[in-house]
C-alpha cells in the first residue's frame, strides 16, 4: 500500500463548563505508511472499522478534573473504543492480519496500540459487528450488570428509565420487560417515545422536553409508584423521582448526562426521601463488573439469544467517516442519536 493520509481527531481545547463544541476538536490528516511504520514489540497496527462515541468522553475533556478515568491530553488524539481490524502485528504477536478486535484506539483511521488492551471478537451471524460497541459491548453490559447488581427488578414491579432511547436505556427497559416488570421510559423527542412504545415494548413513555411537569408525568404513568429508577440523567429528573419511589426502592445511578455540559450543577433537594422510603441509591462504573466472568458470560449468551429470537430490538445512529466524529459527538450529547452513537470509519 503506498503512503497515505491518516485522518485523526485531535483534542484542541478544554471546553470548561458549558457545552463542548466542534471547535474544541480538530480533524488533521497525517502522512502515514501502514506498510513501513515501526511497530514496537507487543504492539499492533489496527484499522478502525467502527468507533464508539460515549457520554463519558465529555468528562475526559475536563483536563483539571479528578475522575475515575484520566483526562484527554490537549494536542493529542481523542480516544475511544472501536471495532478494528489488525493490519500488521509485531513479531511474536498472538494477533495476525485480518483479526477483528475490540479495544481503545485513537479517533483515527489507523492506530498503533498495545495488543494487551485488545480483545479478539468472532463475527456472529445475525449480529452486526458494530453491536460489540453497543448492546453486546460496554453499554449493554452496563444495563445488564447494573440491573442485576443494583436494580434487582422483580416481576410486577414498576421500573422507570430516563434516557430510555439511548445505548444503555434501550437495553435496560427491555431486560426489565423480559423480567416481567411494568416499564416506563422518558426521552427527548416524540420519535424516540414512539420507538419505545411501538418497537421496544415499553408500557408507557413520555417526552421529557414537552411535558409541563416531570412529577405530573411520572404520577400519570406510574400510578403505583416506582420500585426501580434507572438514572441516566441526574439533576432535576432525579429530584422529581425521589418522592415517588416506593419503600425499599432501588436507584442504580448510571449517569448524570443533564449535568455534563451544565454551567452550574443542579442541587438535588429531595435526598431526605432516601431515609423516609428506605431507598438504595448506588452509583457504579461498569468496568468494575468485568471481573465477574460468570455474569459477563451470561450477559453475552443471553443477549445474543434474545437478538436471534428478535426478543430485543436495538438501534444505532451511524455517522460516516472519522472526520464526522466531532459533530457526531456534540450531536449525541444534544440528543440527536436514537440508540447507540457509532462512527463507521471504513
Ligand atoms: P445515549 O445513547 O443515551 O446518548 C446520550 C443521550 O442523553 C442523548 O441521546 C439524549 O437523549 C440524552 N440527554 C442529553 N442531554 C440530556 C438532558 N439534559 N436530560 C436528559 N437526557 C439528556 O448515551 P448512553 O446510553 O451511552 O449513556 C447513557 C448514560 O449512561 C449517560 O449518562 C452515561 O454517562 C451513562 N453511562 C454510565 C456507565 C457507567 O459505567 N456508569 C457506562 C455507560 C454509560 P434525549 O433525546 O432523550 O435527551
Q: pLDDT of 11-30, one tens digit each?
A: 999 999 999 999 999 999 99
Ligand 1 centroid from CA 253, angstroms: 12
CB of 252 shorter than 6 A to ligand 1: no
Architecture in CATH of 138-287: 3-Layer(aba) Sandwich (3.40)
Ligand 1 centroid from CA 141, angstroms: 15
Span 192-208, mean pLDDT?
Answer: 98
pLDDT of residue 64: 87
- Asked if residue 215 has pLDDT above 70, the reply is yes
pLDDT of residue 1: 64
pLDDT digits (tens, 9 = 90+) for 21-60: 999 999 999 999 999 999 999 999 999 999 999 999 999 9
Q: Round to whole Å and give the CA distance between 185 and 169.
A: 8
Q: Lowest-pLDDT range, 53-67, 94-108, 232-246, 284-298?
A: 53-67
pLDDT of residue 156: 98
Mean pLDDT estimate for the chain: 96
Q: What percent of the chain has pLDDT over 90?
A: 94
Q: How many CB atoms lie within 10 A of CB 96?
A: 10
Q: How many CB atoms lie within 10 A of CB 15?
A: 17
Domain extent listing, the chain: 4-134+315-344, 138-287
CB of 142 shorter than 6 A to ligand 1: yes
Query: 122-153 burial, b if ≥16 CB within 10 A, otherwise e?
Result: eeeeebbbbbbbbbbbbbbbbbbbbbbebbeb
Q: Establish how many alpha carbons lie within 13 A of residue 291's alpha carbon, considering only the half-sphere containing its beta carbon.
A: 2
Closest alpha carbon to 325 in 340, 343, 339 = 343
CB of 166 shorter than 6 A to ligand 1: yes
Ligand 1 centroid from CA 6, angstroms: 30
- Asked if residue 168 has pLDDT above 80, the reply is yes
CB of 187 shorter than 6 A to ligand 1: yes
Which of 3.90.180.10, 3.40.50.10260, 3.40.50.740, 2.60.120.10 would CATH assign to domain 4-134+315-344?
A: 3.90.180.10
CB of 193 shorter than 6 A to ligand 1: no
- Please state the pTM of the whole predicted model: 0.97
Ligand 1 centroid from CA 281, angstroms: 18
CB of 316 shorter than 6 A to ligand 1: no
- Asked if residue 268 has pLDDT above 80, the reply is yes
Span 251-269, mean pLDDT?
Answer: 96
pLDDT of residue 65: 80
Where do the H-state alpha helices sit in the chain? 56-60, 138-146, 169-178, 190-198, 214-221, 235-241, 257-260, 273-276, 293-308, 325-333
pLDDT of residue 3: 75
CB of 255 shorter than 6 A to ligand 1: yes
Q: Round to whole Å and give the CA distance between 342 and 346.
A: 12
pLDDT digits (tens, 9 = 90+) for 101-129: 999 999 999 999 999 999 999 887 778 99
Q: For the chain, what is the radius of gyration of the CA atoms?
A: 21
Ligand 1 centroid from CA 170, angstroms: 11
pLDDT of residue 123: 84
- Beta strands at 100-106 and 110-114: parallel, antiparallel or unpaired: unpaired
**Beta carbons of 75 and 11 less than 8 angstroms apart:** yes
pLDDT digits (tens, 9 = 90+) for 50-87: 999 999 999 999 998 888 889 999 999 999 999 999 99
pLDDT of residue 122: 87
Cell numbers 451511524: residue: 318
Using a 10 angstrom Cβ sphere, with 0-12 exposed, 13-18 middle and 19 or more buried, the burial of residue 10 is buried
Confidence class of residue 2 from pLDDT cuts 50, 70 and 90?
low
Q: Does the fold of domain 138-287 match that of domain 4-134+315-344?
A: no
pLDDT of residue 312: 94
Amino acid at each position: 500500500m503506498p503512503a497515505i493520509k491518516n485522518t485523526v481527531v485531535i483534542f484542541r481545547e478544554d471546553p470548561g463548563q458549558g457545552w463542548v463544541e466542534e471547535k474544541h476538536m480538530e480533524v488533521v490528516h497525517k502522512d502515514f505508511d501502514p506498510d513501513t511504520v515501526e511497530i514496537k514489540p507487543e504492539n499492533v497496527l489496527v484499522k478502525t472499522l467502527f468507533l464508539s462515541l460515549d457520554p463519558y468522553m465529555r468528562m475526559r475533556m475536563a483536563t483539571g478534573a479528578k475522575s475515575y478515568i484520566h483526562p484527554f491530553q490537549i494536542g493529542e488524539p481523542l480516544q475511544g473504543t472501536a471495532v478494528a481490524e489488525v493490519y500488521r502485528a509485531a513479531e511474536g504477536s498472538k494477533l495476525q492480519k485480518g483479526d477483528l478486535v475490540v479495544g481503545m484506539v485513537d479517533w483515527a483511521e489507523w492506530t498503533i496500540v498495545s495488543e494487551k488492551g485488545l480483545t479478539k471478537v468472532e463475527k456472529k451471524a445475525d449480529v452486526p459487528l458494530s453491536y460489540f460497541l453497543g448492546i453486546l459491548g460496554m453499554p449493554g453490559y452496563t444495563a445488564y450488570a447494573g440491573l442485576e447488581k443494583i436494580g434487582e427488578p422483580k416481576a410486577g414491579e414498576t421500573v422507570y428509565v430516563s434516557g430510555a432511547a439511548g445505548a444503555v436505556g434501550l437495553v435496560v427497559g427491555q431486560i426489565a420487560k423480559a423480567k416481567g416488570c411494568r416499564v416506563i421510559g422518558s426521552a427527548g423527542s416524540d420519535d424516540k417515545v414512539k420507538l419505545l412504545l411501538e418497537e421496544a415494548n415499553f408500557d408507557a413513555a413520555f417526552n421529557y422536553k414537552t411535558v409541563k411537569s416531570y412529577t405530573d408525568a411520572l404520577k400519570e404513568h406510574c400510578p403505583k409508584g416506582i420500585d426501580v429508577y434507572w438514572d441516566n440523567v441526574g439533576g432535576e429528573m432525579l429530584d422529581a423521582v425521589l418522592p415517588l419511589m416506593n419503600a425499599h426502592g432501588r436507584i442504580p445511578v448510571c449517569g448524570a448526562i443533564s449535568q455534563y455540559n451544565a454551567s452550574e450543577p443542579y442541587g438535588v433537594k429531595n435526598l431526605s426521601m432516601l431515609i423516609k422510603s428506605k431507598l438504595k441509591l448506588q452509583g457504579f462504573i461498569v468496568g468494575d463488573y468485568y471481573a465477574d466472568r460468570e455474569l459477563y458470560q451470561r450477559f453475552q449468551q443471553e443477549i445474543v439469544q434474545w437478538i436471534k429470537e428478535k426478543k430485543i430490538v436495538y438501534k444505532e445512529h451511524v455517522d460516516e467517516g472519522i472526520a464526522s466524529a466531532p459533530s457526531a459527538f456534540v450531536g449525541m450529547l444534544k440528543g440527536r442519536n436514537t440508540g447507540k452513537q457509532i462512527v463507521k470509519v471504513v
